[in-house]
Amino acid sequence: MIEIKDLSKKFNNFTAVNNIDLVIKSGEFMGVLGPNGAGKTTTIKIITGLLKPTAGNVYINGSLMNRNNKEIKGIMGIVPQYSNLDKELTVYENLVFAAKLFRVENYRNKIDELLDFVELSDFKDRMTGNLSGGMARRLTIAKALINDPDIIILDEPTVGIDINGRRKIWDILKYLKSRNKTVLLTTHYIEEAEYLCSRVCLIDKGVIIQDSTPENLKEQLGAYTVEYFDAELKTAYKFFDSKQKALDYSAGIKSSNYTVRETTLEDVFYNYTNRKVV
Ligand SMILES: Nc1ncnc2c1ncn2[C@@H]1O[C@H](COP(=O)(O)OP(=O)(O)OP(=O)(O)O)[C@@H](O)[C@H]1O
Ligand SMILES: [Mg+2]
């Protein structure tokens, strides 16, 4: 459904996206994880036609994406990293504006339905500039859904939002997943990717370094982790395919400061990028 072929983007001499190939199938829930500056937003901007690639192409349902392809834009909903809401309008007016842009029929019903879905019905007359961060994010999601898109692309939908707000957004995304929508999301929150995504792609310095299901990624590294202080009192990690092997290894560690536990997606990320997500 989304096909990215040999995609590169340079800003002057700096390569932000370096020869990416990726196919996201219909109904897949794909998470793109990567540290700051990895090239996530740049890739998303190219997929959504906001930025022209230096090389390579993006195909949506087999047709080439470009900024004028109205047909493709009609089946896509986009939640950008930074707000695309008009602060001078009310919640309701923002959605009317979006509905008119997409020529949505019967839009009043659609808006009522969406406001209910994102739990903003009670705030529909509030000025958008006065919403909390979590509410504004939910409104952005409602706006992205106004044309009932098959493909929804979200760039860090929950960044800076408290855990209650984040869970509300997770519920919304889970519902979209249950409706078999194709979802592509970037996130810094590993637990978010682990909770929601059927497939995870790790990107660093513009390159895809891993691409698989969360389960496979953990298994490839080793399902069990020994985390311990090494001789220089730095935290070290060793990965094993069985708990027994992990326990055997830990028995030989001199310091008492160690744990044996199941490997997490965060370990996978840390192992491949050698730094934590910030
Ligand atoms: N218009 C631009 N001009 C020059 N450099 C740019 C431009 N847009 C992005 N970059 C650079 O490209 C790199 C990738 O940026 P991008 O926004 O795609 O990263 P990201 O993975 O989304 O990071 P974050 O997690 O911080 O949102 C960064 O080094 C950024 O500074
Ligand atoms: Mg970004």
Please report the pLDDT score of residue 233 as a whole number: 81
Atom 9 in ligand 1: residue holding the nearest Cα: 42
Q: Identify the CATH number of the domain defined by range 2-213.
A: 3.40.50.300
> For residue 149, how far is its CA from the centre of ligand 1 (angstroms)?
27
* pLDDT (tens digit per residue) in 169-213: 999 999 999 999 999 999 988 889 999 999 999 999 999 999 999
- Mean pLDDT, range 36-51, rounded to an integer: 94
pLDDT over 60 (residue 278):
no
Please identify, by atom number, the ligand 1 atom nearest to the C-alpha of residue 12: 4
* Nearest CA among 67, 71, 45 for reference residue 153: 45
Strands 14-24 and 2-11: antiparallel
Helix 91-101, helix 133-144: angle, nearest 10:
20
Domain ranges of the chain: 2-213, 223-262
Please report the pLDDT score of residue 276 as a whole number: 46
Q: Residue 275: pLDDT band by 50, 70, 90 thresholds? A: low
Pocket test for ligand 1, best of 40, 47, 82, 277 (most atoms within 8 A of CB): 40
> For residue 183, how far is its CA from the centre of ligand 2 (angstroms)?
17
Please report the pLDDT score of residue 70 as a whole number: 83
Locus of tokens 């937003």: 41
Atom 8 in ligand 1: residue holding the nearest Cα: 42
* pLDDT (tens digit per residue) in 57-93: 999 999 999 878 888 888 999 999 998 999 999 999 9
* pLDDT (tens digit per residue) in 115-153: 999 999 999 999 999 999 999 999 999 999 999 999 999
> For residue 156, how far is its CA from the centre of ligand 2 (angstroms)?
7
Please report the pLDDT score of residue 98 as a whole number: 96
251, 245 in Cβ contact below 8 A?
no
Q: Residue 230: pLDDT band by 50, 70, 90 thresholds? A: confident
> For residue 185, how far is its CA from the centre of ligand 1 (angstroms)?
16
pLDDT over 70 (residue 277):
no
Residues near ligand 1 (Cβ within 6 A): 11, 14, 16, 34, 36-42, 81
In sequence order, which residues have a C-beta less than 8 Å from that of residue 189 and are 6 or more positions away?
Answer: 158, 166, 277
> For residue 34, how far is its CA from the centre of ligand 2 (angstroms)?
9
* Nearest CA among 244, 203, 221 for reference residue 9: 203
Please identify, by atom number, the ligand 1 atom nearest to the C-alpha of residue 45: 18
Pocket test for ligand 1, best of 7, 9, 11, 205 (most atoms within 8 A of CB): 11
Please report the pLDDT score of residue 253 as a whole number: 86
Please report the pLDDT score of residue 78 as a whole number: 95
Lowest mean pLDDT among 117-121, 228-232, 266-270: 228-232
Atom 16 in ligand 1: residue holding the nearest Cα: 39
